[in-house]
Amino acid sequence: MLRSLSSTSTDTLLQKIGAQPDGNIWTVLVVETSDIDEVISELSETISIFAECKIKIISAQSGASELIEQIVQSSENYLLLWTFEAWNCEDWHHLDACRSSLSKPRGGMLVLSSTSAEMMLNCAPNFCSWVGSRIYALAKDSELLTDPEREIRLSALREWSGFSDTDVIASAESHQLPLTPEYGEWLILLGRGDLIER
Amino acid sequence: MSGKDTWLQYCEAIHCRTWEVVPKNSVNKVSILKTQILKLLTQAHDEGKLKTKLHEIHDLLKLEQSTQHGSDVSEILGGQRNFKRLREIPHFERADGCWFDFAILIDQKPKPAEILGFNFEIRFPTDLPVQFLRFDLNLPGHNNQERGMRFHLHPGSDDLMVHSPPMSPLEILHLFLYGLPLPDKLRFQRNDVPSR
């Protein structure tokens, strides 16, 4: 089942959230376990820009009852729920039975590892049916420049200036590099942002 | 002191005065500024101002990071480098045919993050007498003469530059998307110039 999930970049996910009509709409995002902390940190800062409302991060590590209580008590319009890794099938059953408690003006998102997502799919069928197609696997870092894209930019800079990468690093090391932003970009593309003068 | 020395002093003073009042709250973190830019471009697309499609925005808006050698410098890239101003090189395009790209360099080590430099260039349809406008913020450095013009505007020529008004990257991008409307009729046509 997880293999058939549609993959989404962070940018696409944010646009989907921004395009949602006002209403209690929930999304599930499946993330590599090792990336969950970083993803939560990033989404906590960026979702509010697209959802245009206050958001709250709630940990599920104390179990389903505690999570539902916190959801009910929260006043924010959008919730970001995480730390489901310790949940067993009983916790998911509980959430499944109490899904009507997940009621917020702009909805929310569950960020899960693939293991937790498998358990959710098996143990919370009604919740999954309610979420519908809004279960995505995150294609992390797809906004980062790829190696071919980096090479295209470097080629453009070399052709424009007539210099080589070695020339540019040597100029920067001797504080002779012109101060136009193109040369700063060149250093960044070479992984030598440390040579940009401050 | 020569008049030229005074001008260079003025340049330094103008730059300092300009830079002091540039809104900087949009660069607390690179990820936040990039998301604000994504939101702005998405909104402009939804409002019909930007012809660039949503999936093309993803392909054009990229992030590059240089975290080696103890640095934490990033660049937000909006479109490819296009020194020859060739239409076939990927760029953002307004519904009226104006097209633009940009690049913003940011040092993430200081808190809040610090903008090191940028280029924002918008190009106009070929029947306008001005072909492009480019806002540049040059890198910080130790060359006083260049520092006085660090933040400048190229009004349709790479060889001409004047001090830029104090604008943040988001404000310049708003200008590109919602300002600079194409005139229905040019106020002053070349043919209107009286002969001497």
pLDDT at B26: 65
Tally C-beta pairs within 8 A across A and B. 141
Which chain B positions have a beta carbon within 8 Å of A176's beta carbon?
Answer: none
ipTM score of complex = 0.92
Mean pLDDT over each residue of chain B, to the nearest integer: 89
Give the nearest partner residue to B35 out of A46, A192, A197, using CB atoms. A46
Task: Judge: A197–B137 Cβ closer than 8 Å, yes or no.
Answer: no
Is the per-residue pLDDT at B27 higher than 60? yes
Closest alpha carbon to A109 in A19, A38, A14, A1:
A14
Please tell me whether residue A65 adopts helix, strand or coil conformation. Answer: helix
Residue-level pLDDT at A1: 60
Contact A111, A43 (CB under 8 A): yes
Report the residue of chain B nearest A159, measured CA to CA: B83
Instruction: Kindly determine whether residue B73 and residue A188, on different chains, have CB atoms separated by under 8 Å.
Output: yes
DSSP B122: E
With a cut of 70, list the residues of chain A below it in pLDDT: 1-3
pLDDT for residue B161 is more than 80: yes
Distance from CA of B97 to the nearest CA of A (A): 24
Cβ contact B90:B80 at 8 Å: yes
For B82, the token pair is 């296009």
Q: Are strands B151-154 and B162-163 parallel, antiparallel or unpaired?
A: antiparallel
| Per-residue confidence (pLDDT) for residue B22, from 0 to 100 | 83
Report the distance separating Cα B63 and Cα A182, nearest Å: 15
Specify burial of residue B48 (Cβ count, 10 A radius: 0-12, 13-18, 19+). exposed
Instruction: Give Cα separations from A137 to A42, A141, B14, B75 (angstroms).
Output: 16, 13, 50, 26
Question: What residues of B are in contact with residue A175 (Cβ under 8 Å)?
Answer: 141-142
Residues of B in contact with A183 (CB under 8 A): 139
How crowded is residue A189: how many other Cβ atoms within 10 Å of its Cβ? 22
Residue A193, chain B, CB below 8 Å: the answer is: yes
Contact between chains at B63 and A197 (C-beta distance less than 8 A): no
SS3 state at B107? strand
pLDDT of residue A136: 95
Least Cα separation, residue A119 to chain B (angstroms): 32
Rounded CA-CA distance B113/A67 in Å is 35
Q: How far is CA A61 from CA A66, A82, A115, B95, B193, in A?
A: 9, 8, 15, 49, 76
pLDDT at B25 over 90: no
> Mind listing the pLDDT tens digit for each residue in B166-189?
999 999 999 999 999 988 777 766
Confidence band (pLDDT; 50, 70, 90) for B141? confident
Q: What percent of chain B shows pLDDT beyond 70?
A: 91
Contacts of A42 in chain B (CB under 8 A): 31
The sign one gets for the Cα dihedral B11, B12, B17, B20 is: positive
**Cα B125–Cα B126–Cα B128 angle in degrees, nearest 5:** 80
Please, which residues 39-58 of chain A have a Cβ atom closer than 8 Å to chain B? Answer: 42, 45-46, 49-50
Q: Distance between CA A185 and CA B78 in Å, rounded?
A: 13
What are the angstrom distances between the C-alpha of A109 and each of A12, A55, A93, A194, B102? 15, 10, 18, 38, 32
Asked if residues A28 and A117 have their Cβ atoms less than 8 Å apart, the reply is yes
Place of tokens 């489901």: A84
| A145 to B63: CB separation less than 8 angstroms, yes or no | yes
What three-state secondary structure class fits A101? helix
- pLDDT tens-digit readout, B87-134: 999 999 999 999 999 999 999 988 889 999 999 999 998 778 889 999
Which residues are CB-contacts of B59 (< 8 A; sequence separation ≥ 6)?
Answer: B90
- Per the CB < 8 A criterion, the answer to whether B57 and B37 are in contact is no
Distance of CA A141 to the CA centre of its chain: 9
Q: Quote the pLDDT of residue B149.
A: 87
Q: Do A179 and B136 touch (CB under 8 A)?
A: no
Position A27 scores a pLDDT of 95
* A193 min Cα distance to partner chain B (Å): 6
Cα separation, B196 vs A176, whole angstroms: 48
**Strand pairing report for B114-123 and B99-107:** antiparallel
Residue A142: its chain B contacts at CB < 8 A? 58
Residue B3 has pLDDT above 80, yes or no: yes
Tell me: pLDDT of B144 over 70. no
pLDDT confidence of residue B145? 60
